[in-house]
Structure 1
Amino acid sequence: MLAILLALAAAALVAPLWVRALGRNAFYLLALVPLGGLGWVVANWGSTQQVRLEWAPSIEMNIDLRFDSLAAIMSALVLAIGALVLCYCARYFEDDEPRLGLFAAEMVGFAAAMFGLVTSDNMLLLFVFWEVTTVLSFLLVGHNAEQANSRRAAIQALLVTAAGGLAMLVGLIILGETNHSYLLSDLLAAAQPPSGLAVNVAVVLILIGALSKSAVVPLHFWLPGAMAAPTPVSAYLHAAAMVKAGVYLIARLAPVFAENPVWHPLVLTLGVASMLLAGLRALEVVDLKLVLAFGTVSQLGFLVVLVGIGTPDAALAGVAMIVAHALFKACLFMVVGIIDHGAGTRDLRRLSGLGRRAPVLCGIAILGALSMAGIPPLVGFVGKESALGAILDADTLNGPARVALAVGVVFGSMLTVGYSIRFVWGAFADKQGVARPTAHGAHRVRRVSDYAESPGPVVEFGDEHAPDDRSWHAPGTLFLAAPAVLAVASLAAGLAAPGTDRLLSPYAETFSEDLLAYLSLWHGFTVPLGLTVLIIAGGIALFQLRDRLRDPARPRLGNADRAYDATLRGMDRLSLRMTGAVQRGSLPLSQATILGTLIILPTVLLALGTRTGVQLRLWDSPLQAVIGAIMVAMALGATVLRNRLASVLVVGVTGYGCGVIFALHGAPDLALTQFLVETLTLVIFVLVLRAFPAEIEAGRATPFKSRRAVLAALVGAAVTVLGAFAVAARTAEPIWHRIPDAAYQFGGGKNAVNVLLVDVRAWDTLGEISVLVVAATGVASLVFRSRRFGSAPRAADSPNYDPDLVSWLPAGRLVDRADRSMVMQITTRLVFPTIMVLSVYFFFSGHNAPGGGFAGGLTAGLALTLRYLAGGRYELGEALPVDAGHLLGAGLALAAGTAVGSLFFGVPPLSSAIFEVTLPLLGHIKLVTALFFDLGVYLIVVGLVLDVLRSLGARLDSELATSETTSATGGSAQ
């Protein structure tokens, strides 16, 4: 399982490269990955397998994967249909499709996330994969990002499913804490299902997440809007994968919670409502893709009902219909994509005679529609007849509820038959007054609105290719292959119903071993068979009444999409009113509120709380007190000095004083890092202050300034007192004396600080360096506004460059004579190599001595700063002619790669390995793999410093030089 998951993730990473090299044919190569995973699923069908790796045990979130009967069914659908959809993409898209490589990566990544979701045994891990599918769905639906409707649909789907996911997360946490385990297998194996008010609340919250993901009324409206996505997305996400996630979760929890008092009222009521409302809507819309979209909502409601009833018979019917729906709906979505490619429209009022022009495509569509309608001998009939029998025999429902449910399902199934016939008729039948398509060659691209209610002007929208005339572009054999395979599979699964039963019945037996139902094409003359005949007759009648159903004068139900818009507008108005009430736009007022809370709340708690044995501890030694007094004096000096540079320098003294205190406490690593950071901070301040006047304008004293001074003094005093008490308030036994030995045993290093950063608490460090990358990008965005500046300019880029001139630094001659310092350049030439060697030494020695990737990177950054100060912006480009963004990206990729690399060896992420070897001359060498993680930190720090120097130094130099040149030119002209 883990190998399949990692293989899919790896394929997603390399997909853009493959698409760039092979074009659209790369999809065939990508399809081999899920196809290989499908082979493993088939080979292990019927077995139960588990994988457990520690990830974050402190919060009960580990990599717990479990392969059982339900996981096998869902995995087979995810991987098999995923492979077919990827093959379909190879003919659906052209080689020049924008962002095709990114699309391929997102599709394969979605397959990985869905496979992880259906095999997760840990509820928190399941939620992680759940949210990954949400994000990737957002990206896939919004593939045509230049179109407003695509962006709206993507955002709508993201908001609805993410909100439901957050509710589900709360429910999963409540359930996990109540059950004292976050493993689904433990929950299912419990002798007594958990109960109580907390469990009821958890069940409701989990169902909200599941129903929102599966587009069940009233949270269904995002799915029709998501038809703005390219057809392969609809064929995969909205037929076989994403929308099945909620159904899967309900099916997974049904054995435990089917008898919970809140389960049936929610699941069955909303499921039947979805069948009816969406089925009616599918009989009204004129876009073929929307017919399938509302049909999907209707069918998802049916699936939710079946898997939610909670009996073995209903469970068997439920998984049979899950398989049937995935096969016929993916097939029909692909058919719609082919029609739109070839005919240029999805509007069933503008299509006529296509059955004559494309008989093979018509045959494929008829097979898919027959299965959707539940007509024998397709698998849809097998599943639906079994479903009717299961509902009639459901002993978990009382008599009236069972009858009401049966009536709702029967009428919903009539609607299904009606819109199935309407789909085939609308796509392929001859219609009076509509021109038949004629064969043609090349076609041009046009977009057709999914929401066009009249055959008039065509709106620019959608994902399909279309010609301007009524011609037909015949699909190739490879284009037809994927839907044909699905259509034939629907037929084969129905004809081989006993074999299908053997594959699916193990899940139903998890409810009870006394499974009486079985899948078959013929059960005899039974009530379900009679209901099937009634359903088919009723569906034909509804199709005949289709025009009356679309009567504009008929009162209509509310529009959920408009309700969504109204909800967003209401939330915007509410937030504006609340913000206007509590946020007046006054920064001083906001700061005063925050700082006042900081003063009052902790101080009151300290005064009123018990302080037994806690004493005020101001310092540990007289030297510490002296340094603290100097730091206080410098901080006060910064508030009264008028010279900006002087203020920065005295603030820097407070930072160096903090480093000295670290050193006095026996923390040389922290002291070294503090000194390096403070030095770089001073340089950055100096670079920024060049654009400001040297002196701070003196203002007159006002009561407002006096109040600010009093507030600042109170904050300082409060923090000092609280800190002094906190130091002496330790109640637990200190563990500092055990850390060095533990660090050496755990991480193989004698520098406990470095081992903690890159090994023990490496997850924290990974998050922190990610923040550094974001900060560097933010600085560049603020300075450059429209685009990054790239690497710093080289000496050859200067108009004054003369390659024959020799200087101490490569770009030293390009500095103005007034600003050039030969002493500085010579000194830089001499010490730069030494500082870089020291940087490398800090990097390699950090695991056992003061240093590490952070300190080494800061040292290298200081060396680059020295080169820049001595030789200007061109010298910075000569010192390191690399784009800072490349360093930042490489560092983050290396750190993240190191984090996941250990998974390939069957150990938790960020686990370290230690290698020891004795080499000639070099002697005994000890290598810890955490060094590669530290190298990522090193590259990120160097990239950050280079980005800051490039942004606030080189770029600002260039703008100042341009400004001076412009001023001089203007002065000369005058």
Structure 2
Amino acid sequence: MPLTLLVLTALLSAPLLWALLRWRAPLAALAWLLPAALCAGFAGLLPEVLASGARVEVRPWIPSLGVALALRADGLSLLFALLITGIGSFIFLYAARYLAGHADIARFFARLTLFMGAMLGAVLADDLIALLVFWELTSLASFLLIGFAPEQAASRRAAQQGLLITVGGGLALLAGAILLGQAAGTFRLSEILAMDGLASHPNAAWVIALVALGAFAKSAQVPLHAWLPNAMVAPTPVSAFLHSATMVKLGVYLLARLNPVYGEHALWTGLLLTAGLATMLTGALLSLRETDLKRVLAYSTVVSLGTLVTLIALPHPLAATAMVAFLIVHALYKACLFMVAGIVDHEAGTRDSTRLGGLARRMPLTAATALLAGLSMAGLPPFVGFVAKELVYEAQLSGSASWLPVAVAIVANAVMVAVAGVVTVRAFWGPLRPTPHTPHDPPLAMGLGPALLAALGLLLGLAPGLAGDLVQAAASAVAGHATAATLSLWHGLTPMLALSAFTLALGLAIYRGWERLHRALAAREAIATHGPDAAYDRAMAALQRLALWQTRAIQSGSLRRYLGATLVVVGGAVGLTAFARGALAWPSPDGAASLYALLPALLLLAAWAVVRARGFLRGVVAAGMVGFGLALVFLFHGAPDLAFTQFSVEAVAIVVLLAVVGRLPFAREDARTAPQRRVDAAIAIGFGAVASLLLLSVLATPFDERLSDFFRAASVPEAHGRNLVNVIIVDFRALDTLGEITVLALAALAAAAVLAGTRRSRATDAAHEEEGAA
């Protein structure tokens, strides 16, 4: 099936699904068929991709700029597409029951579908410009999803924060993509990946810094991670989709995609390794401060994202395989646990871990699902989480000369063991605690998705070879060369096994002391008051203060100040640029100049008369002298038609000004003080001098008659006219002329409406006065 068809189906289905569910809301139970069909379409491409390496489709988009809607499915992009649509199928099914009866369910599914389509376009794009378009579309769609409940202040703040951070990162990515395209001479990703030497290009450091900033903002790397936990105000299906296979993984995807290009650059390795390790530690620490199940899982996602970025930075050949395996593992158990947290909240009425316990007695099926996913998250055999953790430890032990990545990974993974215990064991086992609602297992539509994802984690742990070919293809794309991916549950008695055992023991110790750790960390107010989230609030408050000061300073309400500032900026910028570039020149006088040398003097005298005029009538007459003098200039330069046009326009303008504007009541002729007049005179003289020097420089440039020759040659045969000015205005510049006529017509209509409204207002006032008198 064509890639373009799959992506367009996802995007175009959003409005169709909205219209359908607005008509019949219960049909939301069948919405999962859309991502399931797309998943089947991508699965059908798997044999071709594994055999040939990639499938490429190119559709012309902006040929003049060399931009095409190019889509490419290789191992990495196909893996993401399968995760997006496969997990999306379960989330769509879950959401239909989770939001059953909601008044805005049609709007929710339309936004969720748009988000899915944008993600598919981003991971399949083979053109940097197309990738950027889909990248920003994911930010917009996530903004709409996070802010699904706009009546809540927390929802509005979280949506705005997520949008500003990710779009700000997107602007940095735009600059990096432009520099990368210029360095490579192409915007096609496949061509860029096939090039050698881009890492040694002079702009390589700028490209790396800008691309990394964009990816870090999207994938919540420290210190740009605050938006991710705050996005938990969104409905649980949104949280599950964003955190497992979509939004937060897009930055990781971009870093993995460009790793073959810049993987050997020291800045690339240093940035990714530093950000990844810092994110792992920060997420682990902050997850221990939370009691809300969704926020606990959100910070564990931050840890996982840091792990993925760290693995991309490691030079060991096994790091790519470990990264891909961990990507799959995290998507499976995180989507499952988020949906479980939503089930607990939906059925028990709370997701506060301090108020939960013993739910397994009332929700045995949900407890079993949570336990399977939690064991995979903790990295215990025989789950696929254990397989991925062994690979992660092996890559970190062999891929870095420093002990720091291994130490950070042990601490972070130990905290993940504790988090898995808090989400599963603490909530579902132990004594039964009272909850706002009587808990019970959810309907089949809500419980089926997480149960299947948890079972898939166990299946891939027992038979990891089922995903071996896909993992190998994706890891080869990340590494930039063919890799031999070997996934197995048992590697023997190895150092990695010892690290896993030590991690489990440390995690159990953290779990046992979780309450003390939580109270100690929650009491540290400095973490909240001086963290990135508080810094965001301070930055937004400072931005508002700056905007207020700027408005007061610039928006003074004085037209005189606005015009003066505009003329100073434009004149100064143009004049300084022309001077710096050496563009100013003086034309040589010709023999005929003496015949009309008096005209400039006459124009200057007329302009001086306008400035010195004390009354409105004198000013209008003096301005007319300037216009008539300009008409004489046209006449002496061999443009009689233009001169007579100028004569006519000037005469009509004087009559209108005297007849209409001259009758308006002016309280004072000129309210300016003497210093203000001197400032205005200096601005006017300066701007006029710059304009004059530019015109003289144009006259000093040899005249290029190619355009004139074209119009003379084409006037009669193509436009059937001999008057070049009329032909240019009516035929060659017809759209410009139409636009000018339209503007004038709209201005006339607006003036007529204002005058008519004034008449009606006066008539109404007169009628009221008569009624009052009666």
Whether TM-score is above 0.5 comes out as: yes
Question: 2:585 touches 2:696 (CA, 8 Å); kept in 1?
Answer: no
State the partner residue of 2:725: none
Output the amino acid matched with 1:42.
G
1:385-400 correspondence to structure 2 within 5 Å? 385-394=390-399, 397-398=400-401
Q: Provide the rounded CA distance (Å) in 1 between the counterparts of 2:150 and 2:705.
A: 57
Q: Does 1:84 align with 2:90?
A: yes
- Residue aligning to 2:471: 504
Cα distance between partner residues in 1 of 2:369 and 2:677: 79
Alignment of structure 1 residues 418-457 onto 2, 5 Å: 418-431=418-431, 434-435=433-434
C-alpha displacement of 1:291? 0.9
From the superposition, tell whether residues 606 and 197 of structure 1 become closer, same or farther in structure 2 (CA, over 3 Å).
closer
Higher relative contact order (CA 8 A, sep 6+): 2
Q: Distance in 1 between matches of 2:749 and 2:35?
A: 43
**Which amino acid in 1 is paired with 2:87?**
I
Instruction: Give the structure 2 partner of residue 332 of structure 1.
Output: 337
Q: By how many angstroms is 1:236 displaced?
A: 1.3
CA distance in 2, matches of 1:220, 1:303: 15
The residue aligned with 2:12 is 10
CA distance in 2, matches of 1:175, 1:288: 41
Comparing 272-281 with 514-523, greater Cα deviation is found at 514-523
Superposed CA deviations along residues 143-179 of structure 1, whole A, max 9, x for unmatched, are: 2112111111112112222222222333333333333
Bigger Cα displacement from structure 2, 951-960 vs 476-485? 951-960
Q: Using the TM superposition, give the Cα deviation of residue 193 of structure 1 relative to its aligned residue in structure 2, in angstroms.
A: 4.9
Give the match for residue 413 of structure 1: 413
Is 1:127 paired with 2:132? yes
Match among 550, 556, 559 for residue 531 of structure 2:
559
Q: Structure 1 stretches of 5 or more lacking a match?
A: 437-468, 669-677, 743-748, 753-845, 866-944
Letter in structure 2 aligned against 1:93 = L
Q: Which residue of 1 aligns with 2:76?
A: 70
In 2, Cα distance between equivalents of 1:231 and 1:667: 73
Write the letter of the residue equivalent to 1:205: L
Deviation (angstroms), 1:61: 4.0
Is 1:542 paired with 2:510? yes
CA contact (8 A) 2:277 2:405 kept: yes
Q: Distance in 2 between matches of 1:30 and 1:428?
A: 29
Aligned twin of 1:108: 113
Check conservation: 1:617, 1:725, Cα contact below 8 A.
no
Residue deviations 1:488-516 (CA, integer Å, cap 9, x gap): 33233333311211111023234376745
Q: Does 1:303 align with 2:270?
A: no
| 2:382 alignment partner, one of 377, 386, 394 | 377
What is the alpha-carbon distance in structure 1 between the residues aligned to residue 153 and residue 532 of structure 2? 20
Counterpart position of 1:355: 360
SS of equivalent residue, structure 1 residue 52: strand
How many Å separate the matches in 2 of 1:132 and 1:472? 39
Map of 1:161-240 to 2, 5 A cutoff? 161-195=166-200, 198-240=203-245
Amino acid at match of 2:24: L
Contact 2:259–2:480 under 8 Å retained in 1: no
From the two aligned structures, give the one with the greater helix fraction: 2
User: 1: CA distance between counterparts of 2:85 and 2:368?
Assistant: 25
In the alignment, the residues of structure 2 paired with residue 344 and residue 130 of structure 1 have an alpha-carbon distance, to the nearest angstrom, of 36
Structure 1 distance, partners of 2:114, 2:640, is 48
The yes-or-no answer on 1:532 pairing with 2:500 is: yes
CA distance in 2, matches of 1:236, 1:949: 54
Instruction: State the partner residue of 2:724.
Output: none
d(CA) in 2 for partners of 1:37, 1:189: 29
Where 1:345 maps in the other structure, the secondary structure is coil
**Alignment equivalent of 2:760, drawn from 947, 952, 961:** 961
Per-residue CA shift, 1:111-143, capped at 9, x if unaligned? 222122112223333223222222222222122
Q: Do 1:642 and 1:697's aligned partners in 2 also have CA atoms closer than 8 Å? A: no
Secondary structure of 1:262's match?
helix
| Shift of residue 550, structure 1, vs aligned partner | 1.6
Q: How many residues align?
A: 741
Q: Secondary structure at the match of 1:535?
A: helix
Q: Aligned pair in 2 of structure 1 residues 633, 561: CA closer, same or farther (>3 Å)?
A: same
Whether the 8 Å CA contact 1:614–1:729 is kept in 2: the answer is: no
- What is the aligned partner in structure 2 of residue 904 from structure 1? none
Match of 1:252 among 249, 257, 263: 257
Deviation at 1:598, TM superposition (A): 3.7
Aligned partners of 2:110, 2:87: CA distance in 1, in Å? Answer: 16
1:698 maps to 669
1:972 aligns with 2:771: yes
1:254 deviates by 2.0
Q: 1:371 to 1:956 in 2, by over 3 A?
A: farther
Distance change in 2, residues 1:305/1:642 (3 Å): same
On the 8 A contact 1:41/1:75 being kept in 2, the answer is no
How far apart in 2 are the matches of 1:34 and 1:719?
A: 65
Residues 717 and 345 (structure 1 numbering): CA distance in 2 closer, same or farther, change over 3 Å? same
- 1:69-101 CA distance string (max 9 Å, x none): 111111211222233323333222244434x44
Alignment TM-score, normalising by the size of structure 2: 0.81
**Secondary structure, aligned partner of 1:218:** coil
Distance 2:152 2:49 in 1: 44
Q: C-alpha displacement at 1:407, in angstroms?
A: 1.9
> How is 1:537-616 mapped onto 2 (pairs within 5 angstroms)?
537-552=505-520, 557=527, 559-570=531-542, 588-589=560-561, 591-600=563-572, 602-603=574-575, 615=587
CA distance in 1, matches of 2:90, 2:347: 20
Aligned-residue CA RMSD in angstroms? 5.0
Distance (Å, rounded) in 2 between the aligned partners of 1:949 and 1:104: 47
CA apart distance, 1:726: 3.1
Is the CA contact (8 Å cut-off) linking 2:6 and 2:41 kept in structure 1? no
What is the rounded CA distance, in whole Å, between the counterparts of 2:151 and 2:287 in structure 1? 28
Distance 1:606-1:710 versus aligned 2 partners, 3 A rule = same
> What is the identity, as a one-letter code, of the residue corresponding to 1:406?
V
- Structure 1 residues 705 and 751, CA, compared in 2 at 3 Å: closer, same or farther? farther
Q: How does 1:260-275 map to 2 (within 5 A)?
A: 260-275=265-280
Distance verdict in 2 for CA 1:966–1:327, change over 3 Å:
farther
> Do the aligned partners of 1:118 and 1:248 also contact (CA within 8 Å) in 2?
yes
| Shift of residue 286, structure 1, vs aligned partner | 1.0
Q: CA deviation at 1:381?
A: 2.0
- In 1, the alpha carbon distance for the partners of 2:750 and 2:585 equals 53
